[in-house]
Amino acid sequence: MEPSRGVAAEPLAPRDVIPALISEGVVTAEEAVTSGVMVQDVGRSHQMYSVSVGGVPRAYLKSFGPSRGASDGSAAKERAVAALAAERPAVAALVPRHLPWRGPQAVVVTEAQPGRAAWADEADGGEQGALWSDLVRRIAKPLADFHRATRDLAAPGARPPPALAAKPPWVLALASGDAAPEIWQTQHITRATGRISADPWLCQGLRAARGIWRDMCLIHADLKHDNVLLLDRDGVSGVVIIDWEMARVGDPAWDIAALAVRLPMTALGEDPWSERTIERTAELLSAYTEVSRLPAPAVAKRLPAYMAAWLVMSAIQHQSTQAPDTSDDGASELLDKAALGFSRREQITRSLIRAVS
Ligand SMILES: Nc1ncnc2c1ncn2[C@@H]1O[C@H](COP(=O)(O)OP(=O)(O)O)[C@@H](O)[C@H]1O
Ligand SMILES: [Mg+2]
């Protein structure tokens, strides 16, 4: 098969994957014959294939389906970030290299990273503290450097790559009257969205979060444990962030809030506003602001609302995995926690500021 050279964003059919990998030079025909090329479907939300040659991981191929609307990521965003990485060392330090690909533009191919996900789901309370401190040590500096190195994209009059142009995350628009209509219309999630529109704390909280949103630099906008890979090479511990499909110009506090609230330590059954979580958030905030040179209190003021908004987003995502019309206790528990966070915003902010000063 000769992959199409056009820009049409059509997903790649499974039968075309190996021929395309060969014609794009990701693997050679000789390797396919002599070493053995293995392609495995590892996709959940996308078509996602891992490619290894002679048992050695080489690449990941992600093929985007047709867009379902405003809440979707895009191949164009991933490609735009990879293009910035070619010019900016602080971006390249966090982003896996893209392999050349002239085939269907709905596809991105990244170099396989020999890392492991940043969190083990089975970690118990004691281990979690050590895992968190290790993650903070690895990620705070490169993430702050990355944010700093892309501030020009948000400067007045800047023209960021169109795929990365500023737009707050869709969840912040939910209560502002201008959310993309398909979000309200999705049958699967009407229980969650119905609850949001009926709960004044959630509505006001989301509106407040939207109100404090600032475009300051490039952000990843989907940080969670499986998008953060821990690498240990030659005794040096590092980190790589994958899955840049949601990247955009926006508020760096959104990335910090995501790390603080979306790791499993604050997943179902945990209290995201406990003293322990606040302490861990402060640990990240202080390591991050030391390098980013953003004032810690200003970032701290935006974190509680953003953490609560991430919980709303998790609730909706949780609900969307359930059969329509089933009551989803997980989603309503997450919404309860979000409402609590919004209602205690000022108190949580004060605790954070106290913990970092
Ligand atoms: N370059 C890579 N190196 C190593 N693992 C990867 C790479 N790209 C993707 N993966 C693996 O595939 C999974 C899904 O890829 P990701 O880009 O995060 O897609 P999704 O949007 O479906 O989360 C990741 O969680 C990771 O385990
Ligand atoms: Mg991912």
Binning pLDDT at 50, 70 and 90, where does residue 125 land?
Answer: confident
Give 38's strand partners: 52
For 79-104, the pLDDT digits (tens) are: 999 999 999 999 999 999 999 999 88
Residue 3 clears pLDDT 80, i.e. is over it:
no
What are the tokens at 354?
Answer: 């106290």
The CB of 52 under 6 Å from ligand 1? The reply is no
> Nearest-CA neighbor of 56 among 40, 82, 38?
38
- pTM (2 d.p.): 0.93
CA 14 to chain centre: 26
For 244-287, the pLDDT digits (tens) are: 999 999 999 999 999 999 876 555 567 899 998 899 999 999 99
Q: Hey, which of 46, 48, 52, 121 would you mutate to test ligand 1's pocket, going by the most ligand atoms within 8 Å of its Cβ? A: 48
The CB of 341 under 6 Å from ligand 1? The reply is no
> Nearest-CA neighbor of 115 among 258, 239, 264, 231?
231
Binning pLDDT at 50, 70 and 90, where does residue 225 land?
Answer: confident
From the CA of 244, the nearest ligand is: 1
Closest-CA residue, ligand 1 atom 17, reads 243
Closest-CA residue, ligand 1 atom 1, reads 112
Binning pLDDT at 50, 70 and 90, where does residue 107 land?
Answer: very high
Give domain limits for the chain: 14-111, 116-356
Distances from the Cα of 233 to the Cαs of 44, 75, 236, in angstroms? 29, 29, 5
Q: Hey, which of 60, 74, 113 would you mutate to test ligand 1's pocket, going by the most ligand atoms within 8 Å of its Cβ? A: 60
The pLDDT of residue 267 is 55
Residue range 14-111 forms a domain whose CATH class is alpha beta
Task: For residue 109, report the phi and psi dihedrals to the nearest 5 degrees.
Answer: -125, 120
The superfamily in CATH containing domain 116-356 is Aminoglycoside phosphotransferase (APH), C-terminal lobe (3.90.1200.10)
